[in-house]
Structure 1
Amino acid sequence: MIEIYRDLLIVTCIGLLSWGIIRIERIYQYPFFMGSMFTSFILPQAFALIDQPGILTPKAVENVLFVSFLCAAACWIGYASKPNRKWLAKLNIVIDERKLFQAGIALMIQGLFFNFLLSRTTLQLAETGGTWQGPSTIYLFFSQVINIAFGLFLLQSLKHPKIINLICTAISGWPLLSTVLGGRRQPMMTLIVIIGFSLWLVYRFLPPRLVIIAAIFLMTVLLPVFGAIRGDFWNLVLTGNWEKVFSLVQDVFETQQKGEILELRNAAVFIDASDKTGMYGYGTGWWDSIVFQYVPGQIVGYDFKRSLQFNLITQETLEKLYGYTIPNGSTTTGIGDSFTEFSYLGCLTFAMIGYIFKHLWISAVYQKSIFSMLLYMGLISPAMVGLTHGIGRFVQEAIFQVSFVILVAYYSRAKYKSQYI
């Protein structure tokens, strides 16, 4: 059965990619970019896990491959569903561009201010997992609004290439670009998405099909390298040290195939633990993620913060059942945490996210809703991170994006709808 589930996953990934490549304008739509992530992130680990299962039983390997297939298939099923006209009507918010510009300036100033504070703050790391804690987490949280401002000003610059729009685009985009140069993977995907989707919305510009195919291959090869060497990657590229780059790619690939650290193994362990114990979160795990992100322990106290969380299946649970410790810096993936919440029905989470993206796409592309454009650009990266890091991470970032984009839309909305809308 392992081979059957593996092949089902492969066929589904090929189907998602083919769906986009056949009609190239689909590359910014949910099934394609999620298919790209399943292909580049999950598939290589699936092959490594089959060869190097470690503590996993054949049944556990079968289960994680089957759940991976269900989640990949759900991405297309949710997106293919018929949209809700009432949702589309609510998304079609008419915007006053003068107020929109003012809102963008406010977001840019806020982002620059908190980026400045972050640069002057000594990072405090948690003893377990190495995650940030202390004031730096608050500064980082509020600094990210500058990405919304960047998307807003880029759209305005492409439609109205005035000096002021171009200057604001450059200023608001610099923090994101500098993070990319530091070798961070999610900011790199965010930058690509904002620029590419904006060019599509305004000019209907699309890269050639062969470039897209090459990009999928490069993403599969280079994403693990980015995670391993961070900013050194760009130093090697800019200095033309290709021999070192190819050597690192080979080393990272060989390390992955040895299967010593695999996020998919983490997912398999969590899936097996939930299956054995019958302990499912029914959404409490995602609530824990919200508390972790939005309740400041340094203000209300870490004991109080922990009292708000459920923590049903923890590291201690895995150590007791399997003697297994999740390696620092690795994740449980959206495959793992969706199953621990709702068993096999957890895959419908990917379908629901796809259904939301379907509405945002129609609203942004056909109704020309600025609100939907900004929200779409803001949610693509969290959706991909939802697969690699967990649905809880998507929920965290989605709340952030939706909240601030709604504030922008509320402030910028026009008093009267045009009769031509």
Structure 2
Amino acid sequence: MAQFYLYLLIGICLGLLGWGFVRPDRIYQYPFIMGAIFVSFIVPQAIALVENPGVASSVAIERVLLMSCLCAGMCWFGYQSKPNLKLLKKLNVPHNDRKLRQGAIVVMAIGYFFLFLLSRTTIQFAANSNWTGPATIYIFFSKVIYIALAITVILALKNPTKVNIILALVAGLPIVQNAILVGRRQPTFAFLVIIGVCAFYVRRLLPPRLLTLGATVSAAYIIPILGQLRGDFWSAILNGNISSINFEQGLNRVLEGNVLEFRNAAILMDAAAKTGHYGYGTGFWDAIVFQYVPGQLLGYGFKNSLQFNLTSFDTVSLFDYSIPNGSTTTGIGDTFLELGYFGCIIFYILAYYFKNIWISAVYQNSVFSQLLYASIISPSMAGITHGIDRFFQEIILQIFVLMAIRYYLRN
């Protein structure tokens, strides 16, 4: 059955891509983008897990593949729902460019302030090699600069004055630095998507289909090699030394299956199924508490008391498997940990809301919806690669800032 589910997953993902290629304007819409992430990130790991299961049982592999099929399918089914007229009305917020520019400057200043604090902070590392301490707070809140980038790019495309262009360059500078010098994958793709969707909003510009197809296929090679080389990847590109990069090496390492996020998901899902312990949404709450409640200020005991930790399984004692440092459980895994197979409904709900936001942004020309879409499409991609808990962590901040801008635009 594992092979059948694998072929079904590949078929669904190719269907999502095909849906996008039918009409060029669909390449920035939720089903196509999710299909591209599934094809470039999940499918290679699924193939590797089937070929190299490790400690994962055949039942565990079949379960994670079936869950992947359900989640990928919901990305399309949720998008087929009729738009909500009341929601569309709320999303259609009047604005003027002067206030929008002022909002961008304030948000940009906040982003740069937290980047400054981060530059003055010594990075602390937890036992799993992840960042901990104040640095995690500073880098998290510095992400508001993505909103500033979306605003300034839209303004620069609508009215390419020196002021608007300079503001767009200033907003994009730290994101480009983080993408190129540090080699972070999410900032890289977030930057490209924001520029792309904003160009479509204002000028209806779209990349050629062949370029989009090539980028989608190339992502399967670039994502793993970028994760390995980090800043050295872009140094080689900028120095014209592309031949020094072995693009096949990154994908080959994934296919070898030594370290797989997809295996993490399979093992944790197996633990939930065997023990009958599910989070029922508490895991997402725990992630929000982890991100927004500062243990340094309020005490770690108080912070821990706010969390449920219902799905904190000891995989070593259960399966003799330790989740590798720096790896994730994916959105496939954490949604199953919360609601079992019903966790795929989360992808249905996300697709439904993304459709409404897209209609408001494109057909009603709502600048608020354009900013909302550009701001949360990157967290939605991280929702697959890292986990839906990561998505909730990031969109709360983005929506809070955007609601403040919305209030300012209406008054």
Normalised to the residue count of structure 2, the TM-score between the two structures is 0.98
Structure 1 residue 134 displacement after superposition: 2.0
Structure 1 residue 217 displacement after superposition: 1.0
C-alpha distance after superposition, 1:386-414 (max 9, x if no partner) = 0000010000011111110111111122x
Unaligned runs of 5+ in 2: none
Matched-pair contact (CA < 8 Å) for 1:5–1:65: yes
Match of 1:303 among 301, 313, 321: 301
Structure 1 residue 240 displacement after superposition: 2.5
Matched-pair contact (CA < 8 Å) for 2:271–2:318: yes
C-alpha distance after superposition, 1:123-154 (max 9, x if no partner) = 1111x222222222222222211111111011
Measure the CA separation in 2 of the matches of 1:280 and 1:103: 42
Measure the CA separation in 1 of the matches of 2:70 and 2:353: 18
Aligned to 1:369: 366
Is 2:340 aligned against 1:346?
no
Measure the CA separation in 1 of the matches of 2:389 and 2:113: 28
Measure the CA separation in 1 of the matches of 2:147 and 2:103: 10
C-alpha distance after superposition, 1:201-243 (max 9, x if no partner) = 0111111110011000111110001111100001111222233
Matches within 5 A, 1:166-181: 166-181=165-180
Partner letter of residue 136 of structure 1?
A
Matches within 5 A, 1:40-119: 40-119=40-119
Partner letter of residue 35 of structure 2?
G
With 346-355 and 135-144 compared, the bigger mean Cα shift is at: 135-144
Is 2:287 aligned against 1:289?
yes
Match of 1:273 among 271, 274, 299: 271
Is 2:239 aligned against 1:260?
no
Normalised to the residue count of structure 1, the TM-score between the two structures is 0.96
Measure the CA separation in 1 of the matches of 2:114 and 2:58: 49
Aligned to 1:418: none
Matches within 5 A, 1:15-414: 15-126=15-126, 128-181=127-180, 182-246=182-246, 249-315=247-313, 317-413=314-410
Measure the CA separation in 2 of the matches of 1:327 and 1:57: 18
C-alpha distance after superposition, 1:311-347 (max 9, x if no partner) = 12225x2122111110001100000000010011100
Matched-pair contact (CA < 8 Å) for 2:53–2:61: yes
Q: Secondary structure at the match of 1:291?
A: helix
Measure the CA separation in 2 of the matches of 1:250 and 1:35: 22
Partner letter of residue 87 of structure 2?
W
Partner letter of residue 107 of structure 2?
L
Measure the CA separation in 2 of the matches of 1:63 and 1:137: 34
Structure 1 residue 111 displacement after superposition: 1.3
With 346-355 and 91-100 compared, the bigger mean Cα shift is at: 91-100
Structure 1 residue 251 displacement after superposition: 2.5
Partner letter of residue 104 of structure 1?
A
Measure the CA separation in 1 of the matches of 2:250 and 2:169: 34
C-alpha distance after superposition, 1:61-100 (max 9, x if no partner) = 1111111100000000111111111111111111132222
Partner letter of residue 149 of structure 2?
F
Q: Secondary structure at the match of 2:68?
A: helix
Aligned to 1:419: none
C-alpha distance after superposition, 1:341-372 (max 9, x if no partner) = 00111001111110110010000001111111
Partner letter of residue 171 of structure 1?
V
Matched-pair contact (CA < 8 Å) for 1:134–1:298: yes
Structure 1 residue 309 displacement after superposition: 0.9
Unaligned runs of 5+ in 1: 416-421
Measure the CA separation in 1 of the matches of 2:212 and 2:35: 13
Structure 1 residue 112 displacement after superposition: 1.4
Q: Secondary structure at the match of 2:245?
A: helix
Partner letter of residue 362 of structure 1?
I
C-alpha distance after superposition, 1:7-43 (max 9, x if no partner) = 1101100100000011111000000000000000010
Q: How much is the aligned-residue C-alpha RMSD, in angstroms?
A: 1.1
Measure the CA separation in 2 of the matches of 1:131 and 1:328: 8
Matched-pair contact (CA < 8 Å) for 1:97–1:412: no
Matched-pair contact (CA < 8 Å) for 2:52–2:256: yes
Structure 1 residue 253 displacement after superposition: 2.5
Matches within 5 A, 1:3-18: 3-18=3-18
Measure the CA separation in 1 of the matches of 2:168 and 2:239: 28
Measure the CA separation in 1 of the matches of 2:317 and 2:79: 40
Q: Secondary structure at the match of 1:144?
A: helix
C-alpha distance after superposition, 1:149-178 (max 9, x if no partner) = 111011001001111111111111101110
Partner letter of residue 190 of structure 2?
T
Measure the CA separation in 2 of the matches of 1:284 and 1:238: 45
C-alpha distance after superposition, 1:99-136 (max 9, x if no partner) = 2211111111111122112111111111x222222222
Measure the CA separation in 2 of the matches of 1:129 and 1:161: 46
Matched-pair contact (CA < 8 Å) for 1:335–1:387: yes
Partner letter of residue 297 of structure 2?
I
Q: Secondary structure at the match of 1:178?
A: helix
Measure the CA separation in 2 of the matches of 1:60 and 1:264: 11
